[in-house]
Amino acid sequence: MADSFDVLTPLVTPFDADGDLDIAGLESLVRHVSAAGVDGIVPCGTTGEFETLSPQEYRTVVRAATETAPDDCRVMVGTAATDVATVHERMAFADDQGADSTLVVPPYYGGQASGAGNEAFFDTVLADAPLPVYLYNIPGAVGQELSVETVAALAQSDAVAGLKDSSGDLPYVTAVMNQTPEDFTVYQGHDGLFVPSLVLGGDGGVSALSHLLFGELARAGTAVASGDIEQARAVQRDVLSPLSEACAEYGFAPTVKALLADRGIIDHATVRPPRASLPSDAVESVTGMLE
């Protein structure tokens, strides 16, 4: 069971009503989550709609996030791409901007890669990596699972710091923790499994709900660390899981943006295609859950 934990925020990317980047909104959002107490931020991840950003927009978001984050807030930059050259280019840029680590997914086009193929991809990505790398298992978005065996093999590299898992598969997380070194960090990316992962020995979460509910996540994590499983279970059951289920139904970026806009933390809940904004009845439902 974890006696300490981290909570990192996978930042949404604010857009204005026309769908253009809202950099002032992004900077304000970084200040908001940092003031709440999160341990780190993750710009240009899945919740950040990275795949909808132009190369220039990507660099603008990374630069703004790293420059705005205070010194005690770590920055893990999403550097996903289908080709190794772009991953390396993004890693180098993140390093130049002062990021602390990067987050890399398996290849997400071309079907189910073999274990050997994924290892070869990551081995090439890890060559001369300027920053610690976190592997990212998100089969629902990528189209394939990063196998436990591949994670265990890659975990032997000094360049690999850990894993973010957003599969929603708790046995998978358990197997990874059983087959990787003690200092290999395992972050839960599925808010509905935050407490169960901590109980099993996970290191925390990269939590979309931390945009608004860092206090509840911290309360649950502290309860696990102190052995108060009933308290942790109550937070998970009554607060985190219902909102996580809503995010899974409507999409994490649209749902979180709707909540942030309702609270006046960002100006607009705009998302880019292929994501769609929440209908008004869904906005009313999720904001009611937050209340």
- The catalytic residue positions are 136, 164
Tokens of 99: 């990021």
Kindly report the backbone phi and psi dihedral angles of residue 31, in degrees, each rounded to the nearest multiple of 5, phi listed first. -65, -40
Residue type, 112: Q
Calpha distance 291→30 (Å, rounded): 23
The alpha-helical segments, DSSP class H, found in 105-169 are: 115-126, 139-142, 148-154
From the centroid of its chain, how far is CA 220? 18
Composition of the chain by helix, strand, coil, percent to 5: 50, 10, 35
Burial environment of residue 266 by CB neighbours within 10 A (0 to 12, 13 to 18, 19 or more): buried
As a whole number of Å, the end-to-end CA separation of the chain is 31
Which are the contacts of 27, defined by CB distance < 8 A and separation ≥ 6? 64, 68
Q: Beta strand pairing status for 6-9 and 204-206? A: parallel
Q: How far is CA 1 from CA 165, 169, 200, 202, in A?
A: 18, 18, 5, 8
Annotated binding-site residue? 62: no
Which are the contacts of 211, defined by CB distance < 8 A and separation ≥ 6? 9, 11, 12, 29, 32, 33, 256, 259, 260, 265
Annotated binding-site residue? 52: no
Calpha distance 243→212 (Å, rounded): 11
Q: How many CB atoms lie within 10 A of CB 290?
A: 16
Annotated binding site for pyruvate: 47, 206
